[in-house]
Structure 1
Amino acid sequence: MSESRRPGRLGVGVVGAGKVGAVLGSALRSVGHAVVGASGISEDTRERAEALLPGVPLLDVGDVVERAELVLLTVPDDALPDLVAGIARLGGWQPGQLVVHTAGRYGTGVLEPAFRAGAIPLAIHPAMTFTGTSLDLARLEGTTFAVTAPAPVLPIGQALVIELGGEPVVVGEESRAVYHAALEDGRHQLAALVARTAQALEAAGVDRPGRLLHPLLTTTLAAAAHAADLRADDTPPAT
């Protein structure tokens, strides 16, 4: 299906149309970019693409990369290095092509094979959990994205996040591992805390403890996050 584009809009290829890729592709489409192809072989991926990217052809990875001006790499973190290197071995990357990944673990170093071929590397990581449904499109609004890129192209990454409805926060290449570890640690500790508390409530005879905990923990978490921002604002800059 052909899509008309306003000036400045790009042809987007989604490599890995899973929960993240299909949602971000749909969000970019909604602001005028054309999704020219997506890759994915599982039945879940095909159903998700039909729901969120109707009319977009499902293609081999090489064909997606060949068609796209902006390649969105939304594969699992562990698969990203081999994918980027494999496309480079096949001569797939193009000079001037934007190559964007969403893995929290990596900065742009993992995109070095694409960069050597003349592509423009960007790393944007949305700090949210995706369901892979249209509900995520509204949740993107105001979500923080960690943006890592070479200084000359950093504004491109920031502008892309803003188009998605998010708020860009710059994370340096050297800090990306710490950033990722902090998020993973917080997520796991919070999940463990909720599980322990729910077990204690069940022992006290509370039916459906999650229903009881949700409003309490939501407001507590919001207050704790606000306090963390206040402490950061009060911390003098490093000299």
Structure 2
Amino acid sequence: MNPEQPAPPPGPDRGTRAEDRPARLDIGVVGTGRVGPALAAALRLAGHRPVAASGVSERSRRRAAELLPGVPLVDPAEVLARADLVLLTVPDDALPGLVTGLAETGAVRQGQLVAHTSGRYGAAVLQPVLRAGGLPLALHPVMTFTGTPVDVQRLAGCSFGVTAPEELRLAAQALVIEMGGEPEWIAEEARPLYHAALAIGANHLVTLVNQAMELLRTSGVEAPDRMLGPLLGAALDNALRSGDAALTGPVARGDAGTVSAHISELGDHAPRMVAGYLAMARATADRALAHGLLAPERAEDLLDVLSEGGRGQ
């Protein structure tokens, strides 16, 4: 083995069939939303053994039953009592309180691996776990989850934002690799910026796509998803390959008249979308100018139109 590559946790050769490998870690999941069951199912494929999970809503319980059949649903303290590796897969705002409560009630054991999947937080939020003798890991899968078995397959090649104490770095990376993912080390202080970048790219994309589909339906298009699919797929591919050089459209060209018409039509048919259009148009104009795609003399009229559109809101 290359000494620079992270070693997998102790266990049999990964080339053997999963059903022939003894489980190396007992896995527990606290929070059976969309993420936790998928990660536990992926670890099961790697030879580990999910042994307990906790979930509150009926939907989360059904999800656990589908992705983790036979795994009992118990309270969070019991999950920790049964597991060597605990996945805390709860909403960001609930994570600090959950961690503190588990540590203060003595649920965390000496040497127990405790990993959360929040993008916002690094390992510092798990300080109560560390003080209780646990081993803290931040393993954030950079993927949107559906809560269905397809998520397990989508983990193949998925990047994970990994933050952990230096002595646990190889263990964290090895777990990600066993789930089929690609570990990417994120410094503790960079976690909020890292998460903001992902939110801009993924969350806002969903809003933009659905706004575009809504407007196309209003304009009479019967299958807006079919119309947008090739266009947006090409735009995403071009952006990832070429960066700002992929900018196109009326804003990047400085077509002030076209942009003015857009603002007018949105004001008539979808006034709630005008503010978002203006904000994205200004950001696009700034990037096109900086990249030399938008000539300064054309930018002046364009920016006047955007400014007038903003005053009309």
TM-score (norm: length of structure 1): 0.89
1:110 is matched with 125
One-letter identity of the residue aligned with 1:137: V
Residue 206 and residue 164 in structure 1: after superposition, are their counterparts in 2 closer, same or farther (change >3 A)?
same
- Give structure 1 regions of 4+ aligned residues with deviation exceeding 3 angstroms: 4-8
Does residue 1:62 correspond to 2:77, yes or no? yes
Q: Which of 226, 231, 248 is matched with 1:211 structurally? A: 226
**Residue 7 of structure 1, CA deviation:** 5.9
Q: Give deviations 1:30-79, integer Å, cap 9, x for gaps.
A: 11101110001211122111111111111111000011110110011111
Percent identical across equivalent pairs? Answer: 55
Aligned residues: 228
In the alignment, structure 1 residue 125 sits paired with structure 2 residue 145: no
> Which runs of no fewer than 5 residues in structure 2 stay unpaired?
1-18, 244-313
CA distance in 2, matches of 1:215, 1:136: 23
Structure 1: gaps of 5 or more residues: 229-239
In the TM superposition, residue 117 of structure 1 has moved relative to its aligned partner by 0.9
Counterpart code for 1:84: V
Preserved CA contact (<8 Å) 2:23 2:49:
no
5 Å-filtered alignment, 1:14-163, equals 14-163=29-178
What is aligned with 1:183? 198
CA contact (8 A) 2:22 2:47 kept: no
- Flag the 1:8–1:40 CA change in 2: closer, same or farther, 3 A: closer
Give secondary structure in 1 for the equivalent of 2:50.
strand
Equivalent in the alignment of 1:9 = 24
Deviation at 1:5, TM superposition (A): 8.4
Corresponding position: 1:225 with 2:235: no
Shift in Å, 1:161 = 0.7
Rg: which structure is higher?
A: 2
Q: Give the 3 Å change call, closer, same or farther, for CA 73–195 of structure 1 in structure 2.
A: same
Q: Secondary structure at the match of 1:12?
A: strand
Tell me which amino acid in the other structure corresponds to 1:107: G
Return closer, same or farther for 1:193/1:41 CA change in 2, 3 Å cut-off. closer
> How far does the alpha carbon of each residue in 1:182-233 deviate from its partner, in whole angstroms, 9 at most, with x for none?
11122343233323433443344321212210122123212212335xxxxx
Structure 2: distance between partners of 1:30 and 1:134: 13
Identify which range, 39-48 or 183-192, moves more after superposition.
183-192
Say what the alpha-carbon RMSD is for the aligned residues.
2.1
Is contact 1:10-1:34 (8 Å) kept? yes
Give the letter for the 2:49 counterpart.
A
Encode CA deviations 1:113-143: one digit per residue, 9 max, x unaligned. 0000111110011111101111111111111
Match of 1:169 in 2: 184
- Post-superposition Cα deviations, 1:121-176, rounded to whole Å, max 9, x if no partner, equal 10011111101111111111111110011111111111111111111111000100
Contact 2:88 2:117 in 1 (8 A): yes
CA distance in 2, matches of 1:8, 1:96: 18
Say which SS state the counterpart of residue 141 (structure 1) adopts: coil
